[in-house]
Amino acid sequence: MPSASKSKPRNASVLFTSAGRRVELLRAFHDAYRSLRLKGKIVVTDINPLSPAYQIADLTSEVPPFTDPGYVPALLEIVKQTRVKLVFPLIDPDIPILAAHKRDFESFGAHVMTPDAGGAETARDKWKTHQFFQAHGIPAARSWLPGDLRDAKPGFPLFIKPRRGSAGLGAFRVEDERQLEFFLTYVEDPIIQECLPGPEITSDVICGAQGEVWAVVSRRRLEIRAGEVSKGVTVWDETIAGHCVAAAKGIRASGPVTVQCILRDGKPYFTEINARFGGGCPLGIAAGIDSPKWYLAEAAGLKVRKPPMGEYKKNLYLTRFDESFFLEEEGE
């Protein structure tokens, strides 16, 4: 936990890019500011002014799409004007872009909470992630590129998804040769993986700005909606946690990382790394891994005392529902 400081804390404003629907996460940061009695603002960008996250942010800014050459300059101007200290990308396509410009943000005093460019690319490309797992002795789901299938003859069912996909988009279970032939043409630049039968475990690996692993909190996904957990429960497995720490260190993580695995006969086989806050991170926060508080403390110059590994509430369930903001257009 962060300790109190006699000196006045420095500014600890935070920028979240492509914040979209991440209202729960932003509320957790608001709670952390109050708990630590820190000054600072939550700054949010998105391409849509109706983004739910806009409704609870302190400052908002519409920016070009991440594919636009003006995207990074727009973010740098926001950082310059608001004196942001931490930058958290919240969608996967943002991560390699921001990682490649870390030094530009640092010139304005902001730390981009991603791995370096190489680590970000490893996490973004699921085939490179698979190769990374193999190179680091992390058990991985068997995986193939389309050209490997004829010789491999993996058998069914299989799972196919884009190498650079996100949020479960374009991911399909494949039952037979006919479906495989279709989806190989339907899914852009795919990776094919064995379809493992057991429960899926997602772990949030909480790393400090300099890469120190502060905590690992794991959850079993009970139900998924639009690629994000809608029902889940906290669990703890020392073997899974050890592999997650190795993965975070291997990609030189800075900030939060989520690591996914699926069990077969009780043994984990790892499938993905996402170098950002996972959609289910509010469950880990509620269980006692208060990462927003630790990140703000570190940014403000307060000491962060990490808890013993695995010390959080187990068997804590999450079940989600929709919530609405109602907005009226301002009159002239």
Residue 166, pLDDT score: 86
107 and 231 part of one domain: yes
The enclosing domain of 20 has a CATH number of 3.30.470.20
**Is 90 in the same domain as 146?**
no
Quote the pLDDT of residue 38.
94
SS3 readout for the chain: CECCCCCCCCCCCEEEECCCCCHHHHHHHHHHHHHHCCCCCEEEEECCCCCHHHHCCCEEEECCCCCCCCHHHHHHHHHHHHCCCEEEECCCCHHHHHHHCHHHHHCCCCEECCCCHHHHHHHHCHHHHHHHHHHCCCCECCEECHHHHHHHCCCCCEEEEECCCCCCCCCEEECCHHHHHHHHHHCCCEEEEECCCCCEEEEEEEECCCCCEEEEEEEEEEEEECCEEEEEEEECCHHHHHHHHHHHHHCCCCCEEEEEEEEECCEEEEEEEECCCCCCHHHHHHCCCCHHHHHHHHHCCCCECCCCCCCCCCCCEEECCCCCCCCCCCCC
- pTM for this entry: 0.94
Q: For residue 202, what are the domain limits?
A: 14-125+198-319
Return the pLDDT at 331.
62
Give a yes or no: residue 174 inside a domain.
Answer: yes
* pLDDT confidence of residue 227: 78
- For residue 86, the tally of other CB atoms under 10 A from its CB is 22
Q: In the prediction, which pLDDT does 5 show?
A: 43
At residue 329, the pLDDT reads 83
* Within a domain: 84: yes
267-274 and 256-264: which strand pairing? antiparallel
Question: What pLDDT, on the 0 to 100 scale, is given for residue 33?
Answer: 96
Examine the domain organization and report whether 150 and 209 are in the same domain.
no
pLDDT for position 8? 57
Query: Are 189 and 209 found together in one domain?
Result: no
Q: Would you state the pLDDT for residue 171?
A: 93
pLDDT tens for the chain, 332 residues: list them.
444 444 555 679 999 999 999 999 999 999 999 999 999 999 999 999 999 999 999 999 999 999 999 999 999 999 999 999 999 999 999 999 999 999 999 999 999 999 999 999 999 999 999 999 999 999 999 999 999 998 998 999 999 999 998 888 899 999 999 999 999 999 999 999 999 989 999 999 999 999 999 999 999 999 988 778 999 999 999 999 999 999 999 999 999 999 999 999 999 999 999 999 999 999 999 999 999 999 999 999 998 978 899 999 999 999 999 999 999 987 65
- The count of structural domains within the chain is 2
